[in-house]
Amino acid sequence: MNKKTIRVAYIGLLSAFAIIISYIEMLLPIDLGIPGVKPGLANFVIVIALYEFGIKDAFLINFIRIFVVGMMFGNLFSIIFSIAGAIISLGIMALIKSIKGISIIGVSIAGGVAHNIGQLIIAAFVVNTYSIAYYVPVLIVAGIITGGLVGIPSSALRSIMHKMLSEN
């Protein structure tokens, strides 16, 4: 098989995986105590994709996920809002990833925080208010928790994947 076919297959597989995770997250009544804050479990797939296939494919997978989930359960507003958050989050994750000595957990946490702060900044533009500064500390802490929740299994899965690949 050529490389292009493998890449397309992986993007399809991981996109489907991310969509399913997003859907399961919707079904589970996960309440983090803050309205509007979700664990963002699909970021699990995005972080793995970022490490294994690079930023371009990770963005593509996330875009497909947001578009499909948005079309099925959301609206245009939620799609635009999610894409903006995804761009900011992925950009920051790629930046943090380039720093030596930071593991996938740190990258995931940075992504979680960047996603929250990014969406807050966009919200500030939409409603034109500074008063949402009050949410910043809450969203940073929420980002650390959700980023950590996603980062730990990502780290574990990656080491299992590499072990399996080296055994073959």
Partner 1 sequence: MEAVFIKKRDFILIFMLLIAAAVSYGIWYFGDAGERECVVVSVDKEQYAKYSLLEDGTYTIDIDGEYNIVKISSGYVSVTDASCPDKICVHEKAINKGGQSIICLPNKMVVTIVKNTDNDEIDGVVK
Tokens of 57: 């494919």
Q: Which of 24, 30, 95, 126 binds partner 1 (CB under 8 A)?
A: 126
Q: Whole-number minimum distance, CB 2 to partner 1, in Å?
A: 26
User: In sequence order, which residues have a C-beta less than 8 Å from that of residue 59 and are 6 or more positions away?
Assistant: 86, 87, 90
State which of residues 90, 104, 149, 150 lies at the interface with partner 1 (CB under 8 A). 104
Q: Which of 35, 98, 167, 168 binds partner 1 (CB under 8 A)?
A: 35
Nearer to partner 1, 16 or 91 (CB): 91
Is residue 72 exposed (0-12), middle (13-18) or buried (19+ Cβ within 10 Å)? exposed
Is 12 among the residues that bind partner 1 (CB under 8 A)?
Answer: no
Q: Which of 68, 96, 121, 153 binds partner 1 (CB under 8 A)?
A: 96
Q: Is 128 in the site for partner 1 (CB under 8 A)?
A: yes
Q: Which residues of 35-46 are buried (b: 16+ CB within 10 A; e: fewer)?
A: eebebbbbbbbb
